[in-house]
Copies of this chain bind each other. A is one copy, B any other.
Amino acid sequence: MKPIRVTVWNEGRHEQKDAPVKAIYPQGIHGCIAAALRLAGGFEVRTATLDDPEHGLTDAVLDATDVLFWWGHCAHGAVPDALAQKVQQRVLAGMGFIALHSAHYAKPFKLLMGTNCSLRWREAEEKERFFVIDHAHPIAAGLPDTFELPHEEMYGERFDVPTPDELVFISWFEGGDVFRSGCTWRRGHGRVLYFRPGHETHPTYHDRTIQMVLANAARWAAQPLRRATNDSPWCKESFEPIVGADAPATTADV
């Protein structure tokens, strides 16, 4: 079976300037996720960051990407609108897109959702417990019914997104909040997942269960099909002969 081609995109700024983040992710968040996917097997993984030439997402890279992971936080505004639109178009054409944690405010994610993607938040080193809501979903394959992270940033409802097509996880937080922490949507020919955890000051992406979710998600989001997205053709020929009615019937003269 051909490997799934994954590109892990990371803003990568916290790892440069915040010592505690650098200590947790010496290879960057992207490096940690890429290593986990390589270990899982079946993937051909590359990484890309905001500060790479062309932000790491040239057409050649996107042509060779079945699934794009996206982590961003403090530099959402530095992503050019044109790049965000290009990513959106790729998703509509069939590329998988996995938005992680603070990427709820990433430009491509917001374009795909059409909503503000706002939420409530608190940094208080609190416990997060995930409940699998849809055990049969491929993203939940092999997971226990619940799993925990000892310390995470809290994200709380209302999460301003369209109703998910599938709700895979709901999170419980020690401080008293809940969140739809694993949500999928189909957009155009592509599959989109939002997966909540991953604050930069916690070693979330080193966690084996979280890594299982990421690998499952990449497998689920990858699709063989790529199609043109913006096709609105004039259909000169009809399937059937058209007779038309005798006269334009108008039932009113308002």
Contacts and interface: CB of A to CB of B under 8 A. Distances in A.
A64 to B, nearest CB: 19
Interface size class of chain A, counting residues whose CB lies under 8 Å from the partner chain: 35 or more
Given A111-B114, A177-B131, A232-B121, A186 B163 contact: yes
A239 B114 contact: no
Nearest to A112: B114
Interface in A114-165: 114-116, 118-122, 124-127, 129, 131-136, 141, 145-146, 150-151, 154, 156-158, 160, 162-163, 165
Interface stretch (A4-12, A47-55, A70-78, A203-211): A203-211
B252 A175 contact: no
A136 to B, nearest CB: 4
Contacts of A115: 92, 187-188
A150 B254 contact: no
A172 B178 contact: yes
B170 A185 contact: no
Interface of A: 32, 35-36, 39, 88-89, 92, 94, 105, 111-116, 118-122, 124-127, 129, 131-136, 141, 145-146, 150-151, 154, 156-158, 160, 162-163, 165-167, 170-178, 180, 185-191, 202-203, 206-209, 211, 223-225, 227, 229-236, 238-245, 247-254
Given A36-B252, A133-B157, 14 more contacts: A115-B188, A116-B229, A116-B230, A119-B232, A121-B235, A129-B239, A132-B157, A135-B227, A146-B239, A150-B247, A162-B186, A172-B176, A175-B241, A207-B250
